[in-house]
Structures are given as structure tokens and as C-alpha cells.
Structure 1
């Protein structure tokens, strides 16, 4: 029988078979239910991606790159494409809720997996705070166009932009949590409806923007040269964060080995094409100087083109819905990752508790909502976005490494999708992630390094000692009583390997 802990001595590696067996065992009891089809999964992915990054972050990307924002979006998309291939292969091979955390556990060991999960607090937890921050800007734009009244800037803007406490950001997070605890079927339906609506709104924006297109607005094309394009790509990357949330639904998707890879590739293709069209329409309708750094930029552009606040109000409504759907989808992903880490004993057990009535992690969802509402309310948006970007890029680099390792250690593992041009594709994914990390700047590097140090200390002091991979002397088998290769773990064997 194959060892459940392949790899270098001293690494606590949980085999893919054991991960899948545990998730299957959980589904036999009061666990998660497979209720999401391909359409719902694609809508969930689009719901997780399209939001603050394009509705709010576009103006920041233009400020860095000028009209070359198109190149920045393409560069960020290329980075995502290579990593999306890796996510697609791993999501089909290991269809569990832990996403990149679980993939790292199966290939690089427990310590690396914990740090990946720690970084996912940035990609999902902190990013949901950043997404929520942008909600108040468009909510005010919508209120202004409909009623002529707006919330006070002190209570609706992020700190550093005239705000003190961002109340709308807190409200949208609590509303998302309320919907999530009602059940995945209700959440998936709401996400699907919101995804269709915001795609329609962005297509409408493109139609309006191209009606006022001026080719002269594209010159000079790259006022900040390559440095501006690189910096802009790092900012634009935030617009793509969330496509990997599809893999966090691994235990709630019908036919996950087929639908997860397919949904990832469909989502990324649709979103990339849409972003490039929106960026081109925006800078074609107004000059980059007029767009750069402006809050609620898409509404501003429509108002200028139509000479009316009505069109801008429609765009603002779409943005309010879009950003709310991202909060919903990303918060969902965070709770499922924490559930997987809790199931492994690396964080407190409260995060793995599933309500038998709604089949959702109710306590974990409310904890996430309350905990990350704090940075949404009081942290400046640029700080939150930069940390989210570098944390996500680091996780994506690890996911590409996981594909390389798993191909070597488990070539027999069933894969419905295989990375094309292997090993060039994951290697290019790692290189592009490193290139965009370089573009985030020294201050963000130092903040991220400090964040990793804290994570390493938390693992050493809490996670390592409470890991169930070491503590449990019981044999872990799949529900049908079978014994897949690698699905056996005992404390004595583990202790011997740890030496």
C-alpha cells in the first residue's frame, strides 16, 4: 500500500485520496450537499470576480498605466490564465472545499498548507473587506441620482478618502452573511441572478462608451512606459481575484471533476473579454486624465456621455448589485476554506460545525462577517487592495508548484483536465506571479512578510500541536468501506516520520 505521507522526510502530507475520502464521509452525515450545477457554478464564479475591481479599481489602474491600461488588463489576465489551468487540473483531481489550501496539503505539507490558508485570509477575508469598501461609493451615487440625497462622506467613504467609519461596508457584509446561513441553494440562486444583471449592466456601459469613442484619447498610449504598465497590471490583477473561489465549492457541486475545470475556464474567458471592452470604452469616451483616480468612474463616464444622471444611476445600480454579489461569493469561499482548516484541527473547531437544518457553517459565517467588517469599516482602501493582491499572487504561485509536484508524486490520480504545455504552463504561471508581486512595491512586500511571520508563529504555537493528522490513531476510510491508496494515517507512523 502506498504511504499516506509521500515526499521528503518531515513533511506532514495528506494524500489526495484521504482528502476526498474525508469530504465524502462528511457528506454522509450532516455535511454539505451537492446542489450546484454548471450554470450556477459559472454564475458563482462571475459573481466572485466582477465587482469592485472593475467598478471601483478601474480608475486606479488608469492612474498607473494611462491608456495602456488595456495592456495591464491583458498582462493580469495572462497571469490568471496559466494559474487557472493549474486550478482546473487540481480542482478536478481533488474536488474538496479547501481550494489551494487542500492542494498544498496534498503536495507540499502541512506547514506550507497552513501558510497558504493564512494567505487566503488576505485573498478572501481581507478582499471581501476591500470589496465592501467600494460598495458605499456606488450606493451614494445611486441615492444621489434617485433622490438627490447622499449619505455623509464621513459615514460612507473609506478612511483617507474623507471617511471615518464606512457604515455601508458593514451593512453589505452582514446582509451577505444572513443570506449565506440560509443555505447554499438560496445563495446560488441569488448569485446567479446578480451575475446576469451585472453582466448586462457592463455590456450597456460598453455600448454607451463606444458611442462617444475618440481615438485621440489613446495617445500618448503609455505615459509611464513599462513601469506604469507593470504597476497597472498589479492593480488590475485585483479585478480578477475570485475565479479560484469556484474550487471552494468542491463539496457542493454536482459532478465536480467535470464542472469545476469547465467553470473556471468559462469564467476567466468571459471576464477577460469583458474587462478589456470596458477599459477600452472608458478611456475612449473620456481621456485617461479625466478617469484616473475618480470614484464611481463608470457612472461618471455615462453621465458625461449622456449629459444626464439617469444613465449613471443605472450603472450605479449595477455596481451596487455587482459588489454585493462579490461580497456574497467571496465570503462563501472564506467560510469553506476555514471549514477545511478546522476539519484538520489547525484552527478552532467552531469553523467546521455544519447546521443540520441549513447544511451551512452558520457560526463560522457570522464570525467571518463580524471579523472582516472591522477592516472594511476603518482601513483605507489602497492598503487593503495591495495586501489582497500580493497574498493572492503568492497563493497562485504555490498552486502552480502544486501541479508540478502532484504530477510527479501521483501520476495515477484521475484528472478530467490536464494543464496544456506541461511543465511550461505552470512555470510561466509562477514567473508571471513573481513579476506582478514585484510591481506591488517595497512597502507591500514588508507588510506581507510581517503577515507571514505572524502566520508561522500561529502554526507553531497552535496548529502544529492540534493537527488531527498526528493526533488521530484511527484509520480513515471512505464511506463505502474501501481502502484507496494513501487513505490510512496513524499517530505512531506519523510520529516516526517526524523523527
Structure 2
């Protein structure tokens, strides 16, 4: 190890709570604002039950990740787990490129949401200002990640504490003043509709996977990583269920669908008035900022690991100026380009679809190592069936109704395959040239 490497190697000082808050920040982003209306259109006032079921399914996947993380803690996170089952071949390479690209897409989508909320406060919903503010957020969070994982953990903890505090106040106030008749099970739709809505609400839990990349920053990842995953999922599930009970106990399902992203603010008005609206705007700003921070966090450690094992070009193992990881800088640039060029609203479900496929791939790879991790094969099978089932339901509903998202999914998959094939060929030629006398 060189002197430069010693200077940038972070101390392993992240706590279980800080690691879990990175996951909570990735989960409780803009999703809770957008999901209530969409889920309410399918499950009516039974959305709280949909969130509870989705949380249980996420818990199954979390069990798999926790077992893998305790056995193979690595800066490569879930991608390192994938390699344990499939090796460092094309499957792992394609999924790695897919995860990296999707990370930039998700960061761009959430940053755009932040820009929209922020511009409504400072610039009267001016589209130009929305783009500028979104880019500023990406730059600020990139600088924060360059400073180091300790800074990321501290800022993320602050952001999540603010978001959780406001949402807790919202839930307590609305539940204390709710109308129980609005949540009467007699008014719930059929089981089929509730199950269908789980495909929507499950997406609110997908961010927990980012916790797997905290292994490099935990003092004892074998013990702490599983705790961080379970704690994050428990917090997210409790918040989602409480918020949905508060909203649907205050507004009718039709009103929630009509208000859409502003349903939380409208539900707060009867007891908190305009203060409720302001609180929800603050929550949206903090939650989207935290989600961007969490999306960028894995980039440096993940790409460095992938470069070291040959899945990514060696340049990704380098640091610019001895501080900024190349993988982080490239992801930030990709994110900014997407913010300025793409119509992100038209492919809003892309990240969710890809995440479900990646989770499924990691679980399939776990089948090959479950004896080493000590995981229950039955639980892994249930987790895979639940995750793939969610994707199938999503494909038959959301993707069919959103052709642009379906096209974007195919393009993203093709780009990941192309990147892997091109890089592996370039790497192979380099080895051949080096061996030729």
C-alpha cells in the first residue's frame, strides 16, 4: 500500500445506526409522496396492509443479504456476494454495470424531484431553476462523498432524523384525529387488488440494498451489517404503515388518488393547517437530498472493488487528486447529464424494475453458497419467488402501461451487456499482448 493510499483509507468508524440510516435515507426518499396515490388507486384504504406485506417480503430479501454480508463483508456489497455464486464472469459483470448505471439514473430522478420541490419554494416552480437546483444538490452530495464515509454517515444521520421526526409527528397527529370508518375492512377491495398493490409499495423498500456497501466502514461487519439491514427495514416499515394509516384515516381513497404527491400535505391540513404543508415540503427536500446522498455513497468503494477484480477498467480504482474516486466522479457526471437531457418522469419506474432483477440475481447466486452462509434454503426460495413475483406483477401492470419505461429497461440492459462484452474483450486483448514476446 502506498503512502497516498494510507492517507485516503477511511477509519472503520461507522455505527450500526449510521449504516441503517443510509438505507433508510435511500428508502424513505420521494417514494412515499408518489406511492400513496398510485397504491390507493389499486388497494384503496388497505394501502397500510400493502406496505406491511411489502415490508415482510423485503425482510426475506434482507435475510439473504444479511447472511451474505455477515459471511462475505466487502466494499463490493451485493455485487461481491453475486461473484461468490457466479464467479467473476459475464453474469457478475453485466449485473455490476447494470447496478452502476441504474444508480446514476435513480440519483438523477430523485435529484430532479428535489429540484422541483426546491424551485417551488425559491423560484415559483420555474423549470430552469428546478434543473439548476437538482445539479447543485448532486455537486454538494458528491463533494460530501469525496470528504469521506464518516461525513456521509453524519450528514445522512441528520437528514434521516429530521425526516423521521416530521413523519412521526405527522403520523401521530393524523392517527390521533382519524376517522376509523375510513379504514373499515368492509370497504377494502379484494385480495387480488391488495396483492397487486404490493408490487407498487415494495418499491419503497428497494433502497435497503445500499447498506451492503457499508461493510468496508463498519468495525465488525459480520455482526453489525445484519443488524443495520434489519433495523433499517423495521424503521421503514413502521413509518410507511403509520403514514398510510394517518393519510387514509383522514382522507378518502378517492381524495388520496386525486391529490397524488400532495396527499400528505392535504391530510395534515385538518389539524396542522398550512404548517402541515410547510412540514411536508421540508420533509420532501430532506428526504430527496438524503436519497441522492445514499445513491452516490456506494460508487467509490464499489467501483474500486470491481476494478481490482477485473470487472471494471483499472482507472476506476484510482482517485483524482488523491481524494475523489473516479467511480464517484463518473457517476456524478452521468447523473448531471441525465438531469439535463432525459425526460426522467417518463421512465420513473426504471430503477425499481432493475433493482428487482438485481435482487433476484443475488438470491440465485446465494443458492450456491447457502451452506457457507448458514442461510435457510427454504427462506431463500420464498424470497426469490416473492421478488420475481413482484417483478412479474409489475411488468404486467406498470410496464405495460408505461412503454417508455419498458423501452428504457431494454436499452439499459443492452448497454450493460455491451459494456461488459467490450471491456472483457479489451482486457483479454491486453493480456494477450502482454504475454506475446
The answer to whether the superposition gives a TM-score over 0.5 is yes
Report the alpha carbon displacement of residue 185 of structure 1 after superposing the two structures with TM: 1.5
> For the residues of structure 1 that align with 2:26 and 2:128, how far apart are their CA atoms?
26
Deviations 1:125-174 (A, max 9, x none): 22222222322343356x2xxxxx64334336xxxxxxxx6333222212
Given the alignment of the two structures, is residue 124 of structure 1 paired with residue 103 of structure 2, yes or no?
Answer: yes
Query: Residue in 1 aligned with 2:146?
Result: 181
Relative to structure 1, the CA distance from residue 385 to residue 236 in structure 2 (aligned partners, 3 Å threshold; closer, same or farther) is farther
Report the alpha carbon displacement of residue 467 of structure 1 after superposing the two structures with TM: 6.9
Relative to structure 1, the CA distance from residue 319 to residue 398 in structure 2 (aligned partners, 3 Å threshold; closer, same or farther) is same
Contact kept, 8 Å, 1:218 with 1:284, in 2: the verdict is yes
> For the residues of structure 2 that align with 1:226 and 1:247, how far apart are their CA atoms?
34
Corresponding residue to 2:218 among 244, 253, 264: 253
Deviations 1:403-441 (A, max 9, x none): 211135xx3xxx5xx43xx11111011111111111223
Relative to structure 1, the CA distance from residue 87 to residue 108 in structure 2 (aligned partners, 3 Å threshold; closer, same or farther) is same
Trace 1:41-56 onto structure 2 (pairs within 5 A).
Answer: 41-56=19-34
Contact kept, 8 Å, 1:167 with 1:377, in 2: the verdict is no
Query: Residue in 2 aligned with 1:159?
Result: none
Q: Which runs of 5+ in 2 are unaligned?
A: none
Given the alignment of the two structures, is residue 371 of structure 1 paired with residue 334 of structure 2, yes or no?
Answer: yes
Contact kept, 8 Å, 2:82 with 2:366, in 1: the verdict is no
Deviations 1:225-278 (A, max 9, x none): 455434432222221122111111221221111111111011111211111111
Q: Which runs of 5+ in 1 are unaligned?
A: 1-21, 144-148, 157-164, 473-490, 492-499
Given the alignment of the two structures, is residue 151 of structure 1 paired with residue 114 of structure 2, yes or no?
Answer: no
Given the alignment of the two structures, is residue 401 of structure 1 paired with residue 342 of structure 2, yes or no?
Answer: no
Contact kept, 8 Å, 1:386 with 1:440, in 2: the verdict is no
Given the alignment of the two structures, is residue 385 of structure 1 paired with residue 348 of structure 2, yes or no?
Answer: yes
Query: Residue in 2 aligned with 1:432?
Result: 386
> For the residues of structure 2 that align with 1:384 and 1:339, how far apart are their CA atoms?
29
Query: Residue in 2 aligned with 1:135?
Result: 114
Contact kept, 8 Å, 2:116 with 2:125, in 1: the verdict is no
Report the alpha carbon displacement of residue 402 of structure 1 after superposing the two structures with TM: 2.2
Relative to structure 1, the CA distance from residue 231 to residue 169 in structure 2 (aligned partners, 3 Å threshold; closer, same or farther) is farther
Contact kept, 8 Å, 1:30 with 1:354, in 2: the verdict is no
Relative to structure 1, the CA distance from residue 57 to residue 113 in structure 2 (aligned partners, 3 Å threshold; closer, same or farther) is same
Partner SS for 1:34? coil
Contact kept, 8 Å, 2:12 with 2:217, in 1: the verdict is yes
> For the residues of structure 2 that align with 1:43 and 1:276, how far apart are their CA atoms?
18
Contact kept, 8 Å, 2:347 with 2:408, in 1: the verdict is no
Q: Say which one has the larger Rg.
A: 1
Partner SS for 1:295? helix
> For the residues of structure 1 that align with 2:321 and 2:330, how far apart are their CA atoms?
18
Contact kept, 8 Å, 1:172 with 1:324, in 2: the verdict is yes
